[in-house]
Amino acid sequence: MPMKPVFEKVPKRDWESFHCEIVRGRDYGTRWHFHPEFQITLAIESSGHRVVGDNIAPLTDGDIVLLGANLPHVWHQDENAGKDVHAIIARFDPQTLGADFFKLPELDGIRRLLEKASRGLEVRGKTRGIIAAHMRRIAETEGFARLLELLAILHVLSEAKSDVKPLSSAGYTPKLESADQGRMQRVCDFIHSHLTEDIDRAQLAKLAHLSEGAFSRFFHSRTGKTVPEYVNEVRVGRACRMLAEDALNITDIAMDCGYRNLANFNRRFRQVTSMTPSEYRSKFRGAAGGR
């Protein structure tokens, strides 16, 4: 059956600008859901899977993820893990500090970080320990000190580019912040609206008003991928959503995502997700259906 994310109303008390929750128990107490607030989750003790957009990954002790607004997600504790959940979750609305606060030049790095969080960001390496310490202090403090801890987290993450990894596929397109936003937006809009057709570099270069060679360099510098790699990730991202939310059979989903035959779809899907479409559908519904 389809798995549609449900809207969650995040509680916030009168004396706080953002909500912090300490989770202890057998599970996280949520289902597959979304909310307009950004979210930082520190899983101090946990074992199972987390689902962020169309990404499914193991959930282990120390896991930290930053989520953008309205990005569907769920943290699922394995019932056979033999231990309870211990986590700290902070949810915040950047607009709380004022509509123009993150437009200040000193906060340019944080603004870009928040835009990239639309795909979900996993924190790794040494940065994970630094963020974990700040998250623990958020849970222990109040007032101005608590707000400073949140801003410190965002600052550290904005500086730790190699330790921050996007989670959802290119199908969950992040907002673009470059000076070439209009040009890149035209290209991305064309790709997303013509997924079932053959998309060649010449078409996209014409849209961008660039030669094919210049366009290839431009596109790779903005996305870190070649056009075929990006198109395949967008198609697989669309397929992931359909596998999760629609009742169509896998062959029909493959066709709706621009793949001419099932064998090629299975091969491309495995390249991106490391599992077959049927394995993804089964695993996703098992994870997203948990509490």
Q: Render pLDDT for 207-228 as a digit per residue (tens, 0 to 9).
A: 988 999 999 988 877 666 789 9
| Confidence (pLDDT) at 125 | 96
pLDDT of residue 151: 96
pLDDT at 171: 65
pLDDT of 251 > 90? The answer is: yes
- Structural domain boundaries of the chain? 6-166, 181-288
Note the pLDDT of residue 272. Answer: 82
Q: What fold, for 181-288?
A: Arc Repressor Mutant, subunit A (1.10.10)
Count of other CB atoms within 10 angstroms of residue 229? 15
pLDDT at 161 over 60: yes
State the pLDDT at residue 4. 67
Calculate the alpha carbon distances from 210 to 176, 183, 190, 213 in Å.
Answer: 19, 10, 15, 8
What pLDDT, on a 0 to 100 scale, did the predictor assign at position 291?
42
- The average confidence (pLDDT) of the chain is 86
Residue-wise pLDDT for 10-25, tens only, equals 776 666 889 999 999 9
Distance CA 168, CA 170 (A): 7
**pLDDT number for residue 247:** 79
- Give the residue, 38 or 275, on which the prediction is more confident: 38
What is the average pLDDT across 54-71? 92
51 neighbors 73 (Cβ within 8 angstroms): yes
Please report which confidence band the pLDDT of residue 172 belongs to, taking 50, 70 and 90 as the band edges.
low
- Confidence band for 1, pLDDT divided at 50, 70 and 90: very low
pLDDT at 265 over 90: yes
Given a cut of 90, whether residue 165 has pLDDT beyond it is yes
pLDDT digits over 74-127, tens only? 998 888 778 899 999 999 999 988 889 999 999 999 999 999 999 999 999 999
The reported pLDDT for the residue numbered 2 is 43
* pLDDT range class, residue 264, cuts 50, 70, 90: very high
- 5 has pLDDT over 90: no
Amino acid 189: pLDDT:
81
Tokens 């520190």 belong to: 42
CATH no. of 6-166: 2.60.120.280
173: confidence class by pLDDT, cuts 50, 70, 90: very low
- pLDDT, residue 192, reads 80
